[in-house]
Structure 1
Amino acid sequence: MSKGSDKRPIVIRRKKVVHAHHGGAWKIAFADFMTALMALFLVMWILSASSEETRRGVADYFSTPLITAVTGSDQAGSTRVIPGGGPDPAHSDGERARMDMLQHSRPSPQERRFFTDLQERIERAIEADPELRQLRRQMRFDLTREGLRIQLLDTEQRPMFELGSDQVAPYMRNLLRTIAPLLNELPNDLSISGHTDNVPYAGGYRGYSNWELSNDRANASRRELVTGGLDPDQLLRVSGFANRVVLPDTDPRDPVNRRIELVVLLPEIAEAIRNPGTMSSDATLPASADDLVEDLTQEPLPTNASD
């Protein structure tokens, strides 16, 4: 071999330097941030340009529990997969019996909007009439478990009826006939109830009393509503409560307790009134007086320890 072949080749290794970069991750995060910021300003702009009614509807929507929105009923308090042990969640026995429905019934967000619209239309109609405008302070609107309640209250200066009578005052007649066609705009049934103060008749409850007076005034209001255009088929209940239901924080003799209450009923409440619930089949009544005596003698009454 030659001397030249004894020399080993020189290998030069050069380290390749790669200039790394951060990639596009920051761009995605920044884009998400800008999208969220744009959505926030868009929502703020929509809310500022919306009416009070729209904002109330949005608030009602987000305050409704998810289970209520999905099933259409309030089952948030239930700890069972199938409420009340029924065969399916829509079954109407056990925990979701009629009495439970009445106790926990409340207007849905959509029904609240309908009731609010009705109240606003009534208030606008009253405000447009100079005579009725003076009666606005004698009206109260509130939502109850039964539905929208409209209360027409008496005052000493402007009573709704003649004293101790069911004769409707002219302005009360005008008010009822103005309200009547507006009540037709909702398909809900209507309940009318009459109430009196605690001042008794001279004959007490043996003759014509506050019971008859409250019922007669409720019927007189019904006649004026029908004359004003109310659909008679919407009337479901007309009743008198005498002086038994006093307004909270008022004296029983206060004139405001002489009032007429109109309730635009929720559908489930109207259905419960049409079909009142009964006791379970286990709680049957005795067929005759002999059976009652036999039932009483099966279990001895407790004796007094001193005997």
Structure 2
Amino acid sequence: MAEEHRPIIIRRKKVVHKHHGGSWKIALADFMTALMALFLVMWILSTGDEEQREAVAEYFRTPLVVAMSGGNQSSSASTVIPGGGPDSSHSQGERARIDYRMQTRPADVRRQFQNIQRQIERAIQADPVLRQLEAQMRLDLTREGLRIQMMDTENRPMFEIGSPTVAPYMSRLLQTVAPILNSVDNALTISGHTDSIPYAGGYVGYSNWELSSDRANASRRELVAGGLDPNKLLSISGVADRIPLEGANPRDPMNRRITLVLHTEQSAEFIRRQGLLPGDAEEFERLLQEDAEAELGEGGLSLDENPQGFFL
């Protein structure tokens, strides 16, 4: 009987569920943050204009170390603090080129020229007379700067045939463009062009060379009359038919044109120094001296001692 009233004890194993941690939550939060940043950047790019997108692209193209050190590449400096003294990795001429190139950011220069280009295009569109000349205008960015070409057609020449006399609509165009070009400090060059048809004006000794030069100079006068500062002018030249339009027949009327170039600072300095950049003259003289010493020995003549002034 005692066994029948014995209590039954049931032992149940208690299972403890351990906590798995929250590392997955951190990973998910990082992923969502990155995704939100991606969509935010995409939204900004979709709503921004061309200049803003170029600024963003230029920012990501410029490494931080290079931007802070002022170098032209990541290997130009080992620290973010630019040091002094000569650069052992570059000759003086090459170092000068790099320093000169880094004075302005290419993206800023490009945006400035694009802004000038848009102003010219809007000014032409706003004038009913100049709007008819739109097909005779070419504006493009080159390594030199902003190039503006004003071309003839068979029915609408920019000058009187065989003459440097400016047509009224050409005068109006140049005087409209002048204040826009004058709004920046960049130097300006003017060149006149002709087609390959020989000049038949009846003047003895007068050719397409003189005609293209006279037309370039007549364009200068119109620009100055429109408000262009004469000090901005760097050169005025006539090249006759030696530089035809790419892909055009040499006798095509479009070759009769006036080309204005609003130069970058580097391009203008290159012209002022007659093809030399800072440091080139010293580097060239050093190479000449080395050649002279190689030919004549250590006691060879120096450039200063050369009485004839000829290159050794």
Same fold (TM over 0.5): yes
Greater CA drift, 253-262 or 58-67: 58-67
The residue type equivalent to 1:45 in the other structure is W
Helix, strand or coil at the partner of 2:175: helix
The residue type equivalent to 1:280 in the other structure is E
The residue type equivalent to 2:149 in the other structure is Q
Structure-2 change in CA distance of 1:24 and 1:49 (3 Å): same
| C-alpha displacement of 1:66 | 7.0
Q: Which residue of 2 aligns with 1:248?
A: 246
Q: Which runs of 5+ in 2 are unaligned?
A: 1-12, 79-84, 289-302
Structure-2 change in CA distance of 1:42 and 1:125 (3 Å): same
Cα distance per residue 1:16-68 (max 9 Å; x no partner): 97643222211211111111111112112212222233224433444567787
Helix, strand or coil at the partner of 1:238: strand
Q: Aligned partners of 1:128, 1:22: CA distance in 2, in Å?
A: 71
Q: Which residue of 2 aligns with 1:169?
A: 167
Q: Which residue of 1 aligns with 2:129?
A: 131
Helix, strand or coil at the partner of 2:285: coil
Structure-2 change in CA distance of 1:74 and 1:30 (3 Å): same
Structure-2 change in CA distance of 1:250 and 1:287 (3 Å): farther
Identity of aligned residues (%): 62
Q: Which residue of 2 aligns with 1:181?
A: 179
Calculate the aligned-residue CA RMSD, in Å.
Answer: 3.7
Q: Aligned partners of 1:96, 1:48: CA distance in 2, in Å?
A: 40
Q: TM-score, normalised by structure 2?
A: 0.74
Q: Aligned partners of 1:88, 1:244: CA distance in 2, in Å?
A: 43
Q: How does 1:1-307 map to 2 (within 5 A)?
A: 19-63=17-61, 69=67, 87-88=86-87, 93-95=92-94, 108-202=106-200, 207-276=205-274, 277=276, 278=281, 279-283=284-288, 287-288=307-308
Structure-2 change in CA distance of 1:62 and 1:233 (3 Å): same
Structure-2 change in CA distance of 1:45 and 1:176 (3 Å): same
Q: Aligned partners of 1:233, 1:226: CA distance in 2, in Å?
A: 10
The answer to whether the 8 A contact 1:147-1:264 is kept is yes
Structure-2 change in CA distance of 1:179 and 1:208 (3 Å): same
Helix, strand or coil at the partner of 1:280: helix
| C-alpha displacement of 1:215 | 1.1
Q: TM-score, normalised by structure 1?
A: 0.75
Q: Which runs of 5+ in 1 are unaligned?
A: 1-14, 296-307
| C-alpha displacement of 1:179 | 0.3
| C-alpha displacement of 1:236 | 1.1
